[in-house]
């Protein structure tokens, strides 16, 4: 029977375990805050409602590396309710026990906190069930619906269900259709909430994203849909909003009157690893630019929202995306650079070229690097270039947003032997998370030499605490019903409308002579030339 028609039991009062453990957590927090005053006032514990977490693609790489370790971590730190049930769904045959054993092994490899807390794991393992399911099998989905009803009775999951789709993108439409067919999407007053979390990539161009949104919205109301871009769950990315809107001194200079340009870099030292066939279809533009990079742009460039309510925030981000002028054929040629790595050396190790990677076409024209000059044509940013770059097999892993301010109006220190450079505010998203401000200072001594110095805030030393993984933040928010860090349908489409003309333009042009940068180099020469034409250069990170 469809759960929509079954009155769910009212959510149980907090259990003794929860009360006991919350008290324990508060005690720990207080102790931490006593030691380190910067930790005072950190986000308070909120425990989600009792619920079933239905994980599609539970045997896949993403589930094992990211989703399940995040659930374990939330469980271990008492952020999940006692009435929590993980229903793992995938095609392969497993019993509850064999699946739990496999997860335990993965936690040993991928959990960010080691060793595994056996007592916490034993409790979580009791709440894991496995259901074998072919996504096109109607009977299988009927059984899943029955099982979820049974869990409401046995485990007190109260009719609340979060469907997490960690599957191949091509399976999303079918799974959502089946969920709708058996009525698992229905939210009926007091019978529990229903939400669906969808992993990226969300579409592969503007049209396919629109189609996917249409199919998903046939079943789920937009307020039930949580599209993941894991960058939005990163601590330092969330801090961007605090930095901009929790401080009074930056906002007045955060505009075209003071900012010369903005550079955003997402550099990776890794290659495509075991994802050759996925990457062949994706490339750096779809994999990073359309989502992670453009999301960073929105947070840097948006107007202050009226609140951090999900829609207020996303409305402002959407305005930024809509103000980016999609590149036309001429701009694609002049302002956008694509690259592909050849063999080389990365961090002292020899690396193969992209075309030699497993599952990659030896004549592939897929880009592993993209850089471009974009403009946001609105009142605040008109005329300020945003230079974006992302690539694989670059010299190091580094994600950074750098806001470079204009030069002083009059170079009063031109006689100085130093060379004061314009102010830069660099926000290091990862690694070495922190914020750096570069400014001019007088060199001690009798003369008047001026040099640039850095003032640095370092997350690790200031807070002396490990940040949660982005997936922990996002999964918890999904369970709490807070969609502010998830992308809305119109946002995804607006981001695709920036990137799609570029991808289509490239398809109609002869590809550059690939490979055009060696593994371990900072991308192709053309990316440096792009900056040099504007009298600028990429920051050395």
Query: Interface residues with ligand BG6 (CB under 6 A)?
Result: 268, 287
Question: Strand pairing of 434-442 and 450-458?
Answer: antiparallel
For residue 260, give the 3-state DSSP assignment: strand
Do residues 464 and 36 make contact, with C-beta atoms less than 8 angstroms apart? yes
**φ and ψ at 283, to 5 degrees?**
75, 165
Q: Name the 3-class secondary structure at 253.
A: helix
- Using DSSP, state whether 243 is helix, strand or coil: helix
Q: Compute the least distance from the CB of residue 278 to ligand BG6, in Å.
A: 8
Compare residues 287 and 477 and give the one whose CB is closer to ligand BG6: 287
Query: In DSSP terms, which residues pair with 478 in a beta bridge?
Result: none
Angle at 255 between CA 251 and CA 257, to 5 degrees: 120
Q: State in angstroms the smallest separation of the CB of 119 from ligand BG6.
A: 30
The answer to whether 211 and 496 are in contact (CB under 8 A) is no
Name which of 195, 130, 225, 180 is nearest 2 in CA terms: 180
Strands 369-375 and 385-391: antiparallel
Of these residues, 211, 292, 334, 513, which one is catalytic?
A: 292
In whole angstroms, give the CA distance from residue 114 to residue 118.
11
292 a catalytic residue: yes
E strand segments, 443-525? 450-458, 517-518
Distance CA 283, CA 106 (A): 28
Q: How far is the CB of 112 from ligand BG6 (least distance, A)?
A: 13
- Closest CB to ligand BG6 among 102 and 268? 268
The answer to whether 492 and 320 are in contact (CB under 8 A) is: no
Is residue 191 within 8 A of residue 185, CB to CB? The reply is: no
Q: Which residues contact 185 (CB under 8 A, 6 or more apart)?
A: 179, 194, 196, 219, 220, 224
> How far apart, in Å, are the Cα atoms of 150 and each of 66, 97, 131?
28, 19, 13
As annotated, the active-site residues are: 292
């Amino acid at each position: 029977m469809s759960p929509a028609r079954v009155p769910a039991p009212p959510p149980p009062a907090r259990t003794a375990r929860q009360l006991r453990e919350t008290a324990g957590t508060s005690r720990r927090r207080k102790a931490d805050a006593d030691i380190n005053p910067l930790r005072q006032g950190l986000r308070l514990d909120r425990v989600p409602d009792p619920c079933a977490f239905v994980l599609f693609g539970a045997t896949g790489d993403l589930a094992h590396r990211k989703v399940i370790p995040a659930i374990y971590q939330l469980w271990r730190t008492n952020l999940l309710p006692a009435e929590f049930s993980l229903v793992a769904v995938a095609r392969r045959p497993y019993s509850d026990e064999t699946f739990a054993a496999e997860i335990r092994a993965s936690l040993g490899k991928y959990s960010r906190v080691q060793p595994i807390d056996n007592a916490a794991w034993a409790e979580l393992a009791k709440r894991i069930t496995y259901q074998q399911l072919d996504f096109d099998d109607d009977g299988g989905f009927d059984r899943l619906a029955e099982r979820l009803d049974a869990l409401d009775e046995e485990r007190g999951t109260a009719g609340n269900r979060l469907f997490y789709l960690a599957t191949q993108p091509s399976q999303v439409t079918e799974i959502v259709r089946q969920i709708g067919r058996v009525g698992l999407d229905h939210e009926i007053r007091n019978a529990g909430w229903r939400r669906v979390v969808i992993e990226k990539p969300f579409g592969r161009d503007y049209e396919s994203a629109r189609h996917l949104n249409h199919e998903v919205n046939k079943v789920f109301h937009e307020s039930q849909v949580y599209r993941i871009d894991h960058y939005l769950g990163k601590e330092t990315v969330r801090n961007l909003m605090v930095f901009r809107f929790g401080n009074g001194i930056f906002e007045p200079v955060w505009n075209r009157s003071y900012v010369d340009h903005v550079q955003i870099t997402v550099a990776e030292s890794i290659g495509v690893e075991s994802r050759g066939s996925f990457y062949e279809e994706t490339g750096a533009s779809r994999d990073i630019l359309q989502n992670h990079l453009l999301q960073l742009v929105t947070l840097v460039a948006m107007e202050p929202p009226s609140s951090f309510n999900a829609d207020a925030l996303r409305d402002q981000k959407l305005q930024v995306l809509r103000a980016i002028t999609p590149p036309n054929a001429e701009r694609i040629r002049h302002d956008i650079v694509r690259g592909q790595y050849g063999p080389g050396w990365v961090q002292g190790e020899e690396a193969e070229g992209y075309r030699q990677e497993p599952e990659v076409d030896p004549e592939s024209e897929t880009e592993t690097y993209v850089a471009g000059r974009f403009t946001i044509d609105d009142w605040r940013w008109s005329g300020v270039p945003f230079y974006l770059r992302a690539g694989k097999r670059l010299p190091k892993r580094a994600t950074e947003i750098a806001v470079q301010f204009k030069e002083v109006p009059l170079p009063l220190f031109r006689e100085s032997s130093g060379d004061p450079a314009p102010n830069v505010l660099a926000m290091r998203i990862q690694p070495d998370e922190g914020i750096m401000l570069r400014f001019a200072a007088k060199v001690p001594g009798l003369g008047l030499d001026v040099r640039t110095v850095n003032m640095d805030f370092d997350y690790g030393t200031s807070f002396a605490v490990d940040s949660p993984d982005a997936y922990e933040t996002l999964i918890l928010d999904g369970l709490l019903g807070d969609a502010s860090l998830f992308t809305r349908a119109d946002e995804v489409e607006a981001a695709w409308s920036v990137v799609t003309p570029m991808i289509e333009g490239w398809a109609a042009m002869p590809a550059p002579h690939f490979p055009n940068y060696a593994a371990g180099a900072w991308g192709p020469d053309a990316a440096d030339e792009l900056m040099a034409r504007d009298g600028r250069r990429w920051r050395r990170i």
